[in-house]
Amino acid sequence: MSTAPATGDDRVVPRLARPRDCVATGVAAGLAEHLGWPVALVRLGFALTSLVGGAGLLLYLWLWALTPWQPGEQAPKRRAPVAWILLAAAAVPLGLAAVSGGPPTGGPAWFWPALAGVGLIVAASAWAGFLDRPDADRGPRHEFAVRIVATVVLALVAVVIVFGPAASEAPRPAFAVALAAVAGIALVYAPTLVTRFRELSEERTRRIREEQRSEIAAHLHDSVLQTLALIQNRAGATSEVARIARAQERELREWLFAGDAVPDRDLGAELREVAAVLEIEYPVSVDVVVVGEQRERASGELAAASREAMLNAARHAGGEVSVYVEGRPDAVEVFVRDRGEGFSLEDVPADRLGVRQSIVGRMRRAGGEAEVGPGVGGVGTQVRLRMPAAAPGEGGTRG
Amino acid sequence: MAEASVRVVVVDDHSIFRSGLKADLDASIDVVGEAHDVESALAVVVETAPDVVLLDVHLPGLAVPAGSTGGAEVIRRAAPELPATRFLALSVSDKAEDVVGVIRAGARGYITKGSSGGEVSRAVHAVATGDAVFSPKLAGFVLDAFGAAVGETAVAGDELDRLSAREQEVMRLIARGYAYKEVAAELFISVKTVETHVSAVLRKLQLSSRHELTAWATARRLL
């Protein structure tokens, strides 16, 4: 195609690309901008050359297939209701076929116009299904309307052909057109059917996997989980062997009973996971109890502060650590309690920032509160975290 | 502790677990019988009439109806004949689903199989003297099931479907890992009072027709 700008001056030639806000495909507008010609002239050129053995039409389709969209984010917007235009265009050959009755010499005069009409209708529904679908202004309802009209017209064509005079006058072409019409109806619904079928088979696979999983769960429950429990029982609560057995048991159980993992975990699930990790790394056994609704996300500040408190308990106290999470309508509370030596904020030097910064400061900044104090009866340490519901700064920020 | 010896029957389908448990129990606990399924458990329990039956929740048996568990079935059939015998459920998992069925069938508490021999022994003694044994997880489930987390509180003392304010406090502390003694110290009440509250909660758990509990149990065909 032309490489020199038509105007002759030294303007920068824009890359050949289709504008995202276009009439139908953006080919004419893109080409006009590239060449520096008026859009109307380009369109006229396409129309005129199409008369010469369809050359313009071929060029148009070729450019449509190979020209990229202009770089941008938004979905292409097509101003012309192309699907309806194609449907309306189908009326022309179909009407032609209807009026051109009578058996001429070569074959029935209605044959090719009728086939063209069927083709245009299928094209219209394909356009609505594939190209108009992502457009928010049109979408599924528009697609549905086009499909209904396409189906009705195709059915009409088939009925007229089969029950009209054409069937007796020229049975073979009539059969071909009727077949084309029926196949057209199938093509109109093919994308939906394919999607439905895929969903169905996915559902079946999922169910089979679920059944298998519960079978395995039942089996392992009777064997491996029992053995792991026995190991813990015999090895003593905080011994290395017991800890590993406990962590393995927890992991296995989670895998068996939890089903597929939820991508954004809630606070309870997160703290259980943290507990499992801590049990492997430190001589500690962590019991996590979760009560109430879990609106709090695993990524929030409360989760971060809780993790810190649990890590402190595991690192400095060891033994048995209890974690209690209660989600109430007005607030979420987390208690972390150990039975170790115990420490209080007054005893912590100001330069040891661990507890101050990570737990108390973090909670305060996020709009909650934190208390670190001795456990009941002066044994161990208890950390109490409280996050009011819908506190500012607790919108699932980073952790 | 100078407690009287407690006669116990251990019911579990894994012989290795039974022998392990027997070896770990305190000297004050006298294992008078063992059983490995529902039928043998019924025979042994009725014959020996022990103080406490340590009962596996998931017990095999021919006559276990779908949805029920072997453990619950043993309690349902043996309890009417032996009013003095108490049942303590042992479960490999600490999931409330596994346990509430046996509690509602009549068990006085439950502990996980991961518990040490000392813990099991303490629980056996507690159950033998008529107390209920609540784990933190079970306390958590109770708080959930009775709507305590959303602020539901019983007004009348004999209400079965909600917990009183005091019962909620006790359950919260147990869920936070407090021993009865610690709960008593925290709330400035006696250990005996704590035990009374826990027993009251256990009774509610067994008798309540609260829809969360019943819906939950119906879904698993426990009722």
Q: What is the pLDDT of residues A191-230, one digit of tens each?
A: 778 888 888 999 999 999 888 877 787 777 767 877 887 7
What is the predicted pLDDT for the residue at B217? 53
What mean pLDDT comes out for the span A155-163?
A: 83
Q: Is A233 within 8 Å of B113 when comparing Cβ atoms?
A: yes
Range A276-388: architecture per CATH: 2-Layer Sandwich (3.30)
Residues 153-182 of A with CB under 8 A from B: none
Compute CA distances A297 → A300, A323, A360, A368, B190, whole Å.
Answer: 6, 17, 19, 15, 39
What mean pLDDT comes out for the span A80-100?
A: 81
The residue among A11 and A152 whose pLDDT is bigger is: A152
**What is the per-residue pLDDT across A276-286, written as a single tens digit (0 to 9) for each?**
888 888 888 88
What is the predicted pLDDT for the residue at A158? 83
Q: Give residue limits of the domains in chain B.
A: 6-130, 137-219
Q: Flag whether pLDDT at A261 surpasses 90.
A: no
Q: Give residue limits of the domains in chain A.
A: 276-388
Q: Is A229 within 8 Å of B140 when comparing Cβ atoms?
A: no
The residue among B59 and A105 whose pLDDT is bigger is: B59
Average pLDDT, chain A: 78
What is the predicted pLDDT for the residue at A164? 74
Q: Decide if domain B6-130 falls under CATH 3.40.50.2300.
A: yes
Which residues of chain B does A321 touch, with a Cβ-Cβ cutoff of 8 Å? 177
Which residues of chain B does A250 touch, with a Cβ-Cβ cutoff of 8 Å? none
Determine phi and psi for A254, rounding to 5 degrees: -60, -45
> Does residue B109 contact residue B89 with C-beta atoms inside 8 Å?
yes
Minimal Cα–Cα distance from A378 to chain B, Å?
A: 10
The residue among B173 and A74 whose pLDDT is bigger is: B173
- For the record, the structure tokens of B214 come out as 């019943």
What is the predicted pLDDT for the residue at A200? 92
The residue among A325 and A112 whose pLDDT is bigger is: A325
The b-or-e profile of A37-69 (16+ CB within 10 A means b, else e) is beeeebbebbeebeeeeeebeebbeebeeebee
The residue among B55 and A355 whose pLDDT is bigger is: B55
The residue among A376 and A84 whose pLDDT is bigger is: A84
Inform me whether the C-beta atom of residue A230 falls under 8 Å from chain B C-beta atoms.
yes
Q: If pLDDT is split at 50, 70 and 90, which confidence band does A107 have?
A: low
Residue in A289, A290, A330 to test binding to B, most B beta-carbons within 10 Å: A289
Minimal Cα–Cα distance from A345 to chain B, Å?
A: 21
Instruction: Report the run of H or E that residue B112 belongs to, with start and end.
Output: strand B110-112
Q: Look at A28-37, A299-308, A363-372, B60-69 and tell me which has the smallest mean pLDDT.
A: B60-69
Inform me whether the C-beta atom of residue A248 falls under 8 Å from chain B C-beta atoms.
no
Residue of B nearest to A378 (CA): B182
Q: Flag whether pLDDT at A344 surpasses 90.
A: no
| Topology at the third CATH level for domain B137-219 | Arc Repressor Mutant, subunit A (1.10.10)
What is the predicted pLDDT for the residue at A308? 86
Burial of A19 (0-12, 13-18, 19+ CB in 10 A): middle
Residue of A nearest to B17 (CA): A230
Residue ranges in chain B whose pLDDT is less than 70: 1-3, 63, 66-67, 93-98, 155-158, 210-223
**What is the per-residue pLDDT across A1-60, written as a single tens digit (0 to 9) for each?**
444 444 445 567 778 888 888 888 888 888 888 888 888 898 999 888 888 888 888 888
> Does residue B91 contact residue B99 with C-beta atoms inside 8 Å?
yes
Q: Is A324 within 8 Å of B92 when comparing Cβ atoms?
A: no
ipTM passes above 0.95: no
Q: Is B58 within 8 Å of A290 when comparing Cβ atoms?
A: no
pTM of the model: 0.59
Residues 371-390 of A with CB under 8 A from B: 376-377
What is the predicted pLDDT for the residue at B52? 92
Inform me whether the C-beta atom of residue A221 falls under 8 Å from chain B C-beta atoms.
yes
Minimal Cα–Cα distance from A88 to chain B, Å?
A: 57
For a pLDDT cut of 70, what percent of chain A falls above it?
Answer: 83
Q: Is A289 within 8 Å of B114 when comparing Cβ atoms?
A: no
Inform me whether the C-beta atom of residue A226 falls under 8 Å from chain B C-beta atoms.
yes
- For the record, the structure tokens of B34 come out as 């063992």
Q: If pLDDT is split at 50, 70 and 90, which confidence band does A396 have?
A: very low
- Alpha-helix residue ranges (DSSP H) falling in chain A: 27-35, 39-51, 55-66, 82-99, 111-126, 139-163, 166-169, 171-222, 224-235, 240-257, 267-281, 301-312, 354-355, 362-365
Instruction: Report the run of H or E that residue A77 belongs to, with start and end.
Output: strand A77-78
